[in-house]
């Protein structure tokens, strides 16, 4: 992902910024202090696989009053982009550099043979880039991290080695919320660090979301005596599957989702329209062809499928609850008003059955491992340790209403997420909805500007890769319409799927069966659900966007993978046909009821 | 027929009639779930609820020995007697929704043979009886706890938490009765009880991890038997005062399909008399255990043993017995799904 116009260091310091900033070993340069006030604290709250429409502020029925409160006080951005997968997004968040240069050109777990050993495809955040916490620390910030890391486990790659002075981190991409169990026989235990040391065991009463929150509050409390501002990366594991959550959070939506995914999607879209998040007339993306119409399912099937979504909703609500604890703590110590909150999900919601992918084959060692550690699969146990439940593609599409696709894919549902920014950086009216095109890599330059820090000219004696993002400071201050011009573009590649967007136009290439393995063109201004391929009508636009794609590939050393996780899926899924509501009528026609006055008994 | 002088066993069995009245309900399958553990198995776990419309046929085999007729819930103790019984109890049960609560209807018919030595008016007799006992009907209505399970989603979400039922049992005096002997399968009188079974869920309701404490306080009522055999005299009147009974089960899953229960039963009252001449009241405690196994979606099996423990005095009830129950449950939805699957 990159922009046409390279990031240009902005040394203007916001009026609120104060404090002298020391030059650092990594080359970060001090900026002049602002005339007044303390520099703002920064809290990034990342929801793992959190969907675009899950929060109440984005049309969700899930009760998230604390996050909604941030939205109400700040700005919601409806065109915010991430990668289609988690560690690539995180790498861009913390480095500001394109994934193909920062080490996450491929996910560690899915790197293709032709990417092995290639710079930019290491599978962890490489040492050619610096990190946001490192620069902020060098600029006088306390830097704290709690939660999921997923960008390297070796000692020189863990959070403590990448700029966080305090941390409590899950280094893996996912795992139990209750204990250290992970998913595979080869990697049975998750790896955690605390303040740079690998943990032998977890604290008592560990529950991921709660413990992460406890830790970050304690970090802030212990560090605040010196008056320095802090940067806290609250990288929640929630609501990534498995849906583990305390028992009293599991039954707050009993039966609410039995109505089925399409009904919930329609309700969310209606609310999004009413809230002004999407224009009136917005279409829902086509239900994926292999997902049944819930209204045709037996009540039991709907109940069980619905229970999965009930748990997911509980996960999100529980996360919101703990965000509320952090907010309340900051209010209590008087730091809330001087804290910038940035909230988003790291990619589209998860529609792939990760557990089946890992443990689905009887006779394998992973299946054996799963049978020992992950086989408590009765619905009444869902949420407990040793249970594994995700919610499947049907609910992932709900989470990504109104978009198509979900995590890993290049539809808007894979790469677009809801963004909330609040705090002193926001000068727009509370509750503003921004339609500016924004990107996760923008956060690095934005926060450098906020902190009065600058991107180093050298790292370990080498010129670092360029920042690809654009600062939001002017946009959030209401001084600019958008952080990028109409000529800037965004581009993506992960798992071989690829896309490029400039203005309202998006060109997308995706492996079968989810895509056509041809470039498809969409106008997102009128077709956010990507239902209407316009390649035939606008060949000139295709050509122009392809040129941008080529530019992106060259600039970022994009190596398309020789192997992809989509292999064989066309044979595993049903043949693809268009999904049309109400077709075939045979399945939907109801019992004919004759006029009462024409009823009669049979004649003898 | 047993007429010998079989050595008296140590201890004795607490009445099984009250327990065998319990019925199993259907065991249901869900397409996407695989087996759902059926509510209600025999003695312990009987008052778990199932889908409205579920049916069950229990067959309970019991081998009992003691110093009273084990088929008679009044347990008229004959101090020097030794009675053996081999009994099967077959029945049918159905669950229905009434006012959004679960109504359980059940009928049970005991059958088999009893034999032994019994002392009547100081004389020892060898007697035996075979055939059918008194059929019993039970009506149970849940008062506190989950609402009636009207759909499979309701069943999926069923958890008893704390549930309380009201039950009424009535036995019809039409079982085989010989007024020339004291040992009979039929009791020649009306009897029954009113009870309030309680199921208290302890911890999560997850197959493999379920724990319950189940209590059944009840009071038995007996009409007179006006054709009672007492010491070569027929046509005597046997009367029995109301009797209080408290049954308790602490049940726990061992696996998803295998569970066990510690059982106990306490009985008090039930003082009997013949022609107004009083006998003893009961004041007995029995303990036992039950193991249960769900064989498949339709069939469950239990095996248990129970014995009286405070039975050292000659007038105390002494009884013990083994019990094996087999229950076949079904529901039309489940059976229909199975038919389609087998195509």
Structural domain includes residue B2: no
Nearest to A300 among B152, B206, B208 (CB): B152
Contact assignment for A300 to B206 by CB distance below 8 Å: no
Residue of chain B nearest A299, judged by CA positions: B153
Q: How far apart are the C-alpha atoms of A560 and A551, rounded to whole Å? A: 14
Q: Give A186's contacts (C-beta < 8 A, 6+ positions apart).
A: A365
Chain A hits for B153, CB-CB cut-off 8 Å, are 255, 258, 299-300, 302-303
Which pLDDT tens digit goes with each residue over A156-197? 999 999 999 999 999 999 999 999 999 999 999 999 999 999
Nearest to B151 among A299, A378, A381 (CB): A299
Chain B hits for A376, CB-CB cut-off 8 Å, are 206, 208
Q: How far apart are the C-alpha atoms of A138 and A602, rounded to whole Å? A: 92
Cβ contact B149:B102 at 8 Å: yes
Q: Which of A125-134, A217-226, A521-530, B228-237 shows the lowest mean pLDDT across its residues?
A: B228-237
Tell me which residues of chain B, numbers 122 to 181, contact chain A at a CB-CB cutoff of 8 Å. 151-153, 155-157, 159
User: In the prediction, which pLDDT does B41 show?
Assistant: 30
Structural domain includes residue B3: no
Which pLDDT tens digit goes with each residue over B43-81? 688 788 888 999 999 899 999 999 888 888 888 887 778
Q: Which of A178, A244, A246, A300 to mutate to test the interface with B (most CBs of B within 10 A)?
A: A300
User: In the prediction, which pLDDT does A84 show?
Assistant: 98
Fold of A42-440: Alkaline Phosphatase, subunit A (3.40.720)
Contact assignment for B204 to A381 by CB distance below 8 Å: yes
Does the CB of A258 have a partner CB in chain B at under 8 Å? yes
Question: Cα dihedral sign for A263, A265, A271, A273?
Answer: negative
Q: How many CB atoms lie within 10 A of CB A267?
A: 16
Does the CB of B207 have a partner CB in chain A at under 8 Å? yes
How far lies A453's CA from each of A138, A427, A449, in Å? 8, 21, 6
User: In the prediction, which pLDDT does A31 show?
Assistant: 37
Nearest to A304 among B32, B206, B208 (CB): B32
Average pLDDT value for chain B: 83
Residue B343: band (very low, low, confident or very high) from pLDDT cuts 50, 70, 90: low
Q: Which of A378, A381, A386 to mutate to test the interface with B (most CBs of B within 10 A)?
A: A378
Contact assignment for B153 to A300 by CB distance below 8 Å: yes
Q: Say which DSSP state A459 is in.
A: B
Does the CB of A310 have a partner CB in chain B at under 8 Å? no
Radius of gyration in angstroms for the set of CA atoms belonging to chain A, rounded to a whole number = 24
Reduced 3-state DSSP string for A277-322: CCCCCCCCCCCCCCCCCHHHCCHHHHHHHHHHHHHHHHHHHHHHHH
Which pLDDT tens digit goes with each residue over A88-109? 999 999 999 999 999 999 999 8
Structural domain includes residue B11: no
Q: What is the largest CA-CA distance in chain B?
A: 68
Q: What ipTM is given for this predicted complex?
A: 0.75
Structural domain includes residue B7: no
Contact assignment for B204 to A380 by CB distance below 8 Å: yes
Burial of A34 (0-12, 13-18, 19+ CB in 10 A): middle
Closest CA relative to residue A49, chosen from A558, A395, A288, A323: A395
Nearest to B153 among A247, A303, A376 (CB): A303
Helices A392-399 & A261-275 angle (0-180, nearest 10): 10
Contact assignment for B31 to A300 by CB distance below 8 Å: yes
Most confident of A156-160, B11-15, B176-180, B226-230: A156-160
Structural domain includes residue B203: yes
Q: What percent of chain B has pLDDT over 90?
A: 60
Name the residue with tokens 């799904």.
B337
Please compute the mean of the pLDDT values over residues B90-119 and round it to a whole number: 92
pLDDT at A26 > cutoff 70: no
User: In the prediction, which pLDDT does B155 show?
Assistant: 85
User: How many distinct helices (H) and strands (E) make up chain B?
Assistant: 3, 20
Give the CATH number, domain containing residue B247: 2.40.128.130
Tell me which residues of chain A, numbers 188 to 247, contact chain B at a CB-CB cutoff of 8 Å. 247
Structural domain includes residue B273: yes
Tokens of B134: 């008194």
Contact assignment for B152 to A299 by CB distance below 8 Å: yes
Q: What percent of chain A has pLDDT over 70?
A: 94
How many angstroms away from the CA of A383 is the closest CA of chain B? 11
Which pLDDT tens digit goes with each residue over A222-278? 999 999 999 999 999 999 999 999 999 999 999 999 999 999 999 999 999 999 999
Does the CB of A248 have a partner CB in chain B at under 8 Å? no
Q: What percent of chain A has pLDDT over 90?
A: 89
Give the helix/strand (H/E) hosting B6. none
pLDDT at B22 > cutoff 80: no
Chain A hits for B30, CB-CB cut-off 8 Å, are 300, 304
- Could you tell me whether strands A230-235 and A41-47 are parallel, antiparallel, or unpaired per DSSP bridges? parallel
Residue of chain A nearest B158, judged by CA positions: A380
The set of catalytic residues of A is 86, 150
pLDDT at B199 > cutoff 50: yes
User: In the prediction, which pLDDT does B293 show?
Assistant: 95
Contact assignment for A307 to B156 by CB distance below 8 Å: yes
Does the CB of A296 have a partner CB in chain B at under 8 Å? no
Domain holding B182, by residue range, is 17-341
Residue of chain B nearest A255, judged by CA positions: B153
Cis-peptide, bond into residue A488, ω within 30° of zero:
no
Chain A hits for B157, CB-CB cut-off 8 Å, are 254-255, 303
User: In the prediction, which pLDDT does A206 show?
Assistant: 98
More confident residue, A586 or B154: A586
Chain B hits for A255, CB-CB cut-off 8 Å, are 153, 157
Please compute the mean of the pLDDT values over residues B160-175 and round it to a whole number: 96
Structural domain includes residue B74: yes
More confident residue, B163 or B3: B163
Question: How many domains does chain B divide into?
Answer: 1
Chain A hits for B334, CB-CB cut-off 8 Å, are none
Which pLDDT tens digit goes with each residue over B3-19? 333 333 333 332 332 32
Contact assignment for A379 to B151 by CB distance below 8 Å: no
B69-105 as b/e, with b when 16 or more CB fall inside 10 Å?
bbbbbbbbbbeebbbbbebbbebebbbebeeebbbbe
Cβ contact A49:A242 at 8 Å: no
């Amino acid at each position: 992902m990159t922009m046409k116009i390279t990031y240009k260091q902005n040394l203007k310091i916001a009026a609120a910024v104060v404090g002298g900033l020391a030059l650092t070993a990594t080359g970060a340069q001090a900026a002049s202090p602002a005339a007044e006030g303390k520099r703002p604290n920064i809290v990034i709250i990342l929801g793992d696989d959190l969907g675009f429409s899950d929060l109440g502020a984005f049309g969700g029925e899930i009760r998230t009053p604390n996050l909604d409160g941030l939205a109400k006080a700040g700005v919601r951005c409806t065109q915010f982009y991430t990668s289609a997968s988690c560690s690539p997004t995180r790498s861009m968040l913390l480095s500001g550099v394109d994934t193909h240069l920062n080490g996450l050109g491929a996910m560690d777990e899915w790197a293709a043979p032709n990417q092995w050993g290639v710079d930019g495809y290491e599978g962890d955040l490489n040492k050619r880039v610096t990190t946001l916490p490192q620069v902020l620390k060098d600029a006088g910030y306390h830097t704290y991290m709690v939660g999921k890391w997923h960008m390297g486990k070796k000692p020189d790659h863990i959070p403590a080695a990448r700029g966080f002075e305090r941390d409590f981190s899950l280094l893996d991409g996912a795992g139990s919320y209750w204990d250290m169990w992970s998913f595979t026989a080869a990697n049975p235990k998750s790896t955690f660090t605390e303040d740079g040391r690998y943990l032998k065991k977890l604290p008592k009463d560990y529950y991921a979301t709660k413990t992460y929150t406890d830790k970050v509050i304690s970090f802030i409390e212990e560090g605040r005596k010196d008056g320095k501002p802090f940067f806290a990366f609250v990288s929640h594991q929630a609501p990534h599957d498995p849906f583990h959550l305390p028992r009293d959070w599991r039954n707050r939506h009993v039966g609410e989702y039995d109505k089925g995914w399409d009904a919930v999607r329609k309700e969310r879209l209606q609310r999004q329209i009413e809230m002004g998040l999407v224009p009136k007339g917005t279409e829902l993306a086509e239900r994926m062809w292999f997902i049944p119409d819930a209204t045709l399912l037996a009540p039991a099937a709907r109940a069980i499928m619905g229970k999965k979504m009930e748990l997911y909703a509980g996960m999100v609500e529980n996360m919101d609850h703990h965000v509320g604890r952090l907010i309340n703590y900051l209010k209590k110590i008087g730091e809330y008003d001087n804290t910038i909150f940035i909230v988003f999900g790291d990619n589209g919601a998860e529609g792939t059955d990760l557990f089946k992918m890992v443990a689905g084959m009887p006779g394998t060692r992973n299946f054996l491992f799963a049978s020992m550690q992950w086989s408590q699969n009765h619905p009444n146990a869902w949420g407990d340790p040793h249970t594994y439940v995700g919610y499947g593609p049907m609910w992932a599409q709900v989470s990504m209403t109104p978009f198509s696709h979900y995590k890993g894919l290049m539809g808007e549902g894979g790469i677009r997420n809801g963004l909330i920014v609040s705090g002193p950086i926001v000068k727009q009216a509370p509750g503003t909805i921004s339609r500016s095109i924004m990107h996760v890599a923008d956060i690095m330059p934005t926060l450098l500007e906020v902190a009065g820090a600058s991107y180093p000219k050298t790292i370990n004696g080498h010129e670092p890769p360029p920042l690809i993002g654009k600062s939001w400071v002017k946009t959030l201050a209401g001084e600019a319409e958008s952080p990028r011009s109409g000529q800037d573009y965004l581009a993506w590649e992960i798992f071989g799927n690829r896309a490029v967007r400039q203005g309202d136009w998006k060109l997308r290439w995706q492996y079968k069966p989810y895509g056509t393995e041809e470039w498809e063109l969409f106008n997102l201004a009128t077709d956010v659900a990507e239902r209407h391929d316009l390649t035939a009508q606008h060949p000139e636009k295709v050509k122009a966007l392809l040129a941008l794609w080529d530019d992106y590939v060259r600039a970022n050393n994009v190596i398309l993978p020789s192997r992809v996780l989509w292999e064989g899926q066309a044979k595993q899924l049903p043949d693809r046909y268009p999904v049309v509501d109400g077709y075939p009528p045979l399945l939907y026609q109801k019992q004919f009821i004759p006029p009462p006055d024409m009823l009669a008994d049979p004649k003898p | 027929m047993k007429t010998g002088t079989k050595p008296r066993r140590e201890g004795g069995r607490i009445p099984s009639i009250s327990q065998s009245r319990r019925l199993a309900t259907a065991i249901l399958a869900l397409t996407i779930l695989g087996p759902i553990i059926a509510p209600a198995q025999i003695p312990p776990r009987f008052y778990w609820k199932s889908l409205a419309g579920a049916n069950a046929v229990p067959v309970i085999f019991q081998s009992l020995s003691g110093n009273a007729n084990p088929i008679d819930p009044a347990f008229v103790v004959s101090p020097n007697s030794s009675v053996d019984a081999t009994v099967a109890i077959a029945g049918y049960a159905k669950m229905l929704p009434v006012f959004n609560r679960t109504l359980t209807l059940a009928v049970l018919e005991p059958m088999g043979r009893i034999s032994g030595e019994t002392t009547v008016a100081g004389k020892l007799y060898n007697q035996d009886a075979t055939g059918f006992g008194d059929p019993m009907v039970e009506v149970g209505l849940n008062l506190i706890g989950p609402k009636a399970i009207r759909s499979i989603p309701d069943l999926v979400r069923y958890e008893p938490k704390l549930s309380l039922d009201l039950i009424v049992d009535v036995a019809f005096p039409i079982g085989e009765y010989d007024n020339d002997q004291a040992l009979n399968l039929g009791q020649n009188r009306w009897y029954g009880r009113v009870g309030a079974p309680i199921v208290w869920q302890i911890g999560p309701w997850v197959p493999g991890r379920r724990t319950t404490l189940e209590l059944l306080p009840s009071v038995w009522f007996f009409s007179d038997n006006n054709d009672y055999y007492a010491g070569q005299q027929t046509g005597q009147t046997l009367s029995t005062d109301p009797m209080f009974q408290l049954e308790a089960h602490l049940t726990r899953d061992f696996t998803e399909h295998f569970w066990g229960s510690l059982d106990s039963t306490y009985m008090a009252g039930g003082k009997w008399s013949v022609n107004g001449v009083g006998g003893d009241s009961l004041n007995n405690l029995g303990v036992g255990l039950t193991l249960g196994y769900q064989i498949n979606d339709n069939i469950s099996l239990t095996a248990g043993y129970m014995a009286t423990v405070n039975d050292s005095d000659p007038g105390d009830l002494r009884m013990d017995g083994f019990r094996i129950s087999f229950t076949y449950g079904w529901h039309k939805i489940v059976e229909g799904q199975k038919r389609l699957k087998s195509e």
